[in-house]
Amino acid sequence: MQRQKRIDDLIAGLLDAIPIRAKSLIVTVYGDAVLPHGGSVWLGSLINLLEPFGQSERMVRTAVFRLTKDDWLEATQIGRRSYYAVTDSGRVRFDAAHRRIYAAPNMPWNGEWVLVHTNCCGLEPEPRESLRRDLAWQGFGQLAPHILAHPSPDEEALHLSLREHNAMEKVVILRAGADRLTTPGSLKMLVRACWDLDQLQTDYEGFLERFRPVWRAMDDNGVPDGTASFIIRTLLIHDYRRILLRDPMLPEEVLPPNWPGAAARLLCRNIYRAVQGPAEKHLMQTLETADGPLPGALPYFYDRFGGLMDGTDSRAFSAVMT
């Protein structure tokens, strides 16, 4: 009883501390939980799944409707039930986020920068600004007016953005490296001018403050039950995704010392590995598809964070703790 109260108190604190909007939460749940299980669920079961997050039926229905208008989801009506699946466009966007969140850290940096020049080939101001915002969410920084920079962008995501904004023939993409006369200190100053590293560092430190007590509580008391594990896993990825998708994933050479992003990733990985088994069981018991129960997760799910353990293995938690 005391163990459960401790977990419940921590979850209540997370729900108070982490900004949650229904639309963004549903994007997190579809990307993290629904897509690996086929990508389509009955709306009624999704409403039940999100109730513990303080999301009412009306809020979920409104958010799902907006995600449909934004081409993230598409509806299928079978009798009186509505089923919502990820669109083809949504899958591409989820795939790009998946690589950022769950894949291994970047390979060693070769010192090269990718530059996107958006004001030299007739791109109109409105689509240019939309493209800038899109690339900012991919980690690009503003090097100069109308020039965006990134040390190692996701090329698939970059190409998708250029196609979506009809900008393939209206931007110039260059690759450049620092001259040997450029000092490490001046390069770090340039990076600080392009990215708000102070805010990003503050956000990562906040993430660590919020989730370290969860990790310690599991160390003392073991893995929570299915419902609590699912809530923790979802809040973990929801909060981490919010920060990580603004992180340009700069190479260590140009980051401040003791950068908290590495510690945040390690903590996220450890908690995710610990709770994913019970969380998966809760998903399977709660969500429904047009064909009945939710199917098992696709193999790629178990590649997340360098490899997940089978949730049926009772040794999973002790293995992560050592």
Region of 144 please: left (phi>0), alpha (psi -120 to 50) or beta.
beta
Residue 209 has pLDDT above 90, yes or no: yes
64-78 confidence digits (pLDDT tens): 999 999 999 999 999
Mean pLDDT of 167-181: 91
Closest CA to 187 of 261, 266, 251: 251
- Please state the φ and ψ torsions of residue 249, each to the nearest 5 degrees: 55, 50
Where is average pLDDT lowest: 176-185, 233-242, 263-272?
Answer: 176-185
Strand order of the sheet with strand 81-86?
40-42, 81-86, 73-78
Collect all residues with Cβ–Cβ distance below 8 Å to 1 and sequence separation of at least 6: none
Where is average pLDDT lowest: 98-112, 144-158, 175-189, 274-288?
Answer: 98-112
> How far is 158 from 133, CA to CA, in rounded Å?
12
Residue 312 has pLDDT above 60, yes or no: no
Collect all residues with Cβ–Cβ distance below 8 Å to 108 and sequence separation of at least 6: 251
pLDDT at site 248: 85
Q: What percent of the chain has pLDDT over 90?
A: 67
pLDDT at site 172: 95
Paired tokens of 96: 């790009």
The answer to whether the beta carbons of residues 227 and 283 sit under 8 Å apart is: no
pLDDT at site 234: 98
> How far is 155 from 143, CA to CA, in rounded Å?
19
> How far is 147 from 130, CA to CA, in rounded Å?
14
Region of 297 please: left (phi>0), alpha (psi -120 to 50) or beta.
beta
pLDDT at site 1: 61
Residue 319 has pLDDT above 90, yes or no: no
pLDDT at site 310: 52
Collect all residues with Cβ–Cβ distance below 8 Å to 190 and sequence separation of at least 6: 143
Q: What percent of the chain has pLDDT over 70?
A: 94
pLDDT at site 3: 67
Strand order of the sheet with strand 147-150?
141-144, 147-150, 112-117, 172-177
Closest CA to 287 of 17, 23, 34, 51: 34
243-254 confidence digits (pLDDT tens): 988 888 888 888
> How far is 205 from 203, CA to CA, in rounded Å?
5
Closest CA to 193 of 236, 129, 250, 239: 250
Confidence of residue 322 (pLDDT cuts 50, 70, 90): very low
pLDDT at site 139: 86
Mean pLDDT of 298-313: 79
Where is average pLDDT lowest: 42-46, 196-200, 207-211?
Answer: 196-200
Residue 184 has pLDDT above 60, yes or no: yes
Residue 13 has pLDDT above 50, yes or no: yes
